[in-house]
Chain A
Amino acid sequence: MLMGLFNHWVVIALMMIGLYIVIAHGNLIKKIVGLTLFQTSVFIFYISMAKVNGGTAPILADDIIQYSNPLPHVLILTAIVVGIATTALALSLVVRIKETYGSIEEENIQDQDNQTFEQSNSQKDSKQEKQA
């Protein structure tokens, strides 16, 4: 059982490490790294499901009977390239956030947001008082 399920458990461990980084770390780039870890763990899960004992790579050749399952390979191949495209989008958002807020730490961004919110609220209040 240990050998048979080892791959799955490692996948879960990697996935949970990724999840932990996303939840517990405030730095946006670190969060993206966590997402990448999570993503890779899913890739590893699919690929290790596709493996058949005694099989070889799914490229047809003479005198080979057993092949590994090609379908998960196809799904993951496209997923990797899509993953880099979406990661690039996330990184470009981070760059814009850095330009606007001057920081990529979640707490600083939250503080600045709260301040501007309070300011706009107080301005509104004063306006309403004037009108009244």
Chain B
Amino acid sequence: MINIVILTLLVVIAIAIIRMKDLFAVVMLLGIYGLLSASFFVAMDAVDVAFTEAAVGAGISTLLMLVVISMTGRREITTRHKPFSALFVVAITGFLLIYGTLDMPYFGSADAPIHGHVAPRYINDSMQEIGIPNIVTSVLASYRAFDTFGEVVVIFTAGIGVLALLSVVRRPEDPEQIAVINDSMHERHLVIRIIAKILIPFILLFALYVQFHGDFGPGGGFQAGVIFAAAIILYTMLFGLSTARRVINQSLIRLVAATGVLLYGSVGLATLLSGGNFFDYNVLANDPIAGQHLGIALIELGVGCTVAVVIIIIFFNFAARREMQLNNKKQHQDKKNKESSSC
């Protein structure tokens, strides 16, 4: 019952998104959409997915889109080219897909083909084979570890891509200027700054809890990384980019991102060298269960490092780019003013 209400609301929001011209409103609606779809995931028992979607879909992606909109402009100029042909294509595709669903198993039926194959083995045997209660973590980090390795490499590559596209060479700033900016921000954001000072240690601690509690409840490296990065982003927003850059060494965190991927890969290599298959953690310790625990902990650590650092890098680069554009604009204006005054 819950799913029907939530899904209907999702469709309403999606239709509203089509009609909106104001990109800011679109992003706000996208935030609501992310929160709503995460509630849907909770209702569908996918607690781990809801965890990730809450942090990513509602938090980080809204945030990045807002930063970009503040750089590129808020209005969508209405040029809908060929809406009718687009509508035609969409209608045909949708009709064919709906025709295809008629053969699909009904929602929630226990004898659907998807519940055959490997799923019963994961549910029945993972406790003996892996020894941790959260089946999602044991599938993610042990049964399908190779798959997850690929995903981590994709995230790392995306981080490098953003770095290549957006990175700005920063001149060393004089501390006085930073102090002036800091003071002006202090006046404007006093209340949030104090609240954030209380919250940030809590968020970081909570991220560590999520990282190491992932074996027993919803959580794990992906979620922990995103939460950790969110705390750093909060700090950056309130205390200024220059201060955050001094706190978090840029070349160091790039090293950490690479180390995360390397750690993940080297666990696989270690299992190969000790005579097992790639990512077969049984051989890591004398006891297979202890080996599995060790392997999963190491891999989650690698994932957490990479995800956290890549998201921090992405945000820092966007924010630095924005700052550079603003500075350029200011200089341009100053020059203009000078010219006009000299005339």
Say if the two chains contact directly (CB < 8 Å). Answer: yes
Q: Determine if A121 is an interface residue (Cβ-Cβ < 8 Å).
A: no
Q: Determine if B154 is an interface residue (Cβ-Cβ < 8 Å).
A: yes
Which residues of chain B come closer than 8 Å to A73, judged between CB atoms?
Answer: 46, 48-49, 136
Question: Mask for A42-74, Cβ within 8 A of B = 1, else 0?
Answer: 011001111111111111110000111111111
Select one of B47, B90, B159 contacting A57, CB under 8 A: B47
Pair A80/B49 contact, Cβ less than 8 Å: yes
Question: Which of A4-12, A112-120, A124-132 lies at the interface with chain B?
Answer: A4-12
Pair A91/B53 contact, Cβ less than 8 Å: no
Select one of A7, A14, A51, A91 contacting B45, CB under 8 A: A51
Beta-carbon nearest neighbor of B150 in chain A: A78
Beta-carbon nearest neighbor of A1 in chain B: B106
Beta-carbon nearest neighbor of B29 in chain A: A33
Pair B114/A82 contact, Cβ less than 8 Å: no
Beta-carbon nearest neighbor of A70 in chain B: B135
Nearest chain A CB to B65's CB is how many angstroms away?
7
Given contacts A47-B44, A78-B147, A104-B72, contact A60 B135 (CB under 8 A): yes
Which residues of chain B come closer than 8 Å to A49, judged between CB atoms?
Answer: 112, 114
Q: Determine if B317 is an interface residue (Cβ-Cβ < 8 Å).
A: yes
Main secondary structure of the interface of A (DSSP, over half): helix
Which residues of chain A come closer than 8 Å to B325, judged between CB atoms?
Answer: 99
Interface residues on chain A, size class:
35 or more
Bound state CA distance, A66 and B115, in angstroms? 12
Which residues of chain A come closer than 8 Å to B161, judged between CB atoms?
Answer: 89, 92
Select one of B80, B94, B222 contacting A24, CB under 8 A: B80
Pair B72/A59 contact, Cβ less than 8 Å: no
Given contacts A24-B83, A29-B68, contact A81 B114 (CB under 8 A): no
Q: Determine if B275 is an interface residue (Cβ-Cβ < 8 Å).
A: no
Which residues of chain A come closer than 8 Å to B76, judged between CB atoms?
Answer: 25, 27, 29-30, 105
Could you tell me which residues of chain B, from 5 to 38, have a CB within 8 Å of some CB in chain A?
A: 7-8, 10-11, 14-15, 17-18, 23, 26-27, 30, 33-34, 37
Select one of A52, A59, A67, A89 contacting B162, CB under 8 A: A89
Pair A56/B45 contact, Cβ less than 8 Å: yes
Nearest chain B CB to A61's CB is how many angstroms away?
7
Bound state CA distance, A20 and B282, in angstroms? 49
Given contacts A50-B44, A59-B134, A60-B135, contact A6 B107 (CB under 8 A): yes
Select one of B33, B93, B108, B155 contacting A85, CB under 8 A: B155
Which residues of chain B come closer than 8 Å to A1, judged between CB atoms?
Answer: 106
Beta-carbon nearest neighbor of A81 in chain B: B222
Bound state CA distance, A13 and B314, in angstroms? 32
Bound state CA distance, A21 and B82, in angstroms? 12
Pair A26/B136 contact, Cβ less than 8 Å: no
Pair A55/B45 contact, Cβ less than 8 Å: yes
Pair A58/B86 contact, Cβ less than 8 Å: no
Which residues of chain A come closer than 8 Å to B57, judged between CB atoms?
Answer: 40, 80, 84
Given contacts A17-B18, A27-B76, contact A59 B104 (CB under 8 A): no
Pair B158/A86 contact, Cβ less than 8 Å: yes
Which residues of chain B come closer than 8 Å to A10, judged between CB atoms?
Answer: 7-8, 10-11
Given contacts A96-B166, A104-B72, list 12 more A-B pairs with CB under 8 A. Answer: A6-B7, A9-B98, A16-B93, A23-B86, A36-B30, A37-B14, A51-B107, A70-B122, A73-B136, A82-B155, A95-B318, A106-B79
> What are 7 A-B contacts with C-beta separation under 8 Å?
A7-B107, A26-B77, A69-B119, A71-B118, A86-B158, A87-B61, A94-B68
3 closest A-B pairs (Cβ-Cβ)? A4-B106, A85-B158, A53-B108
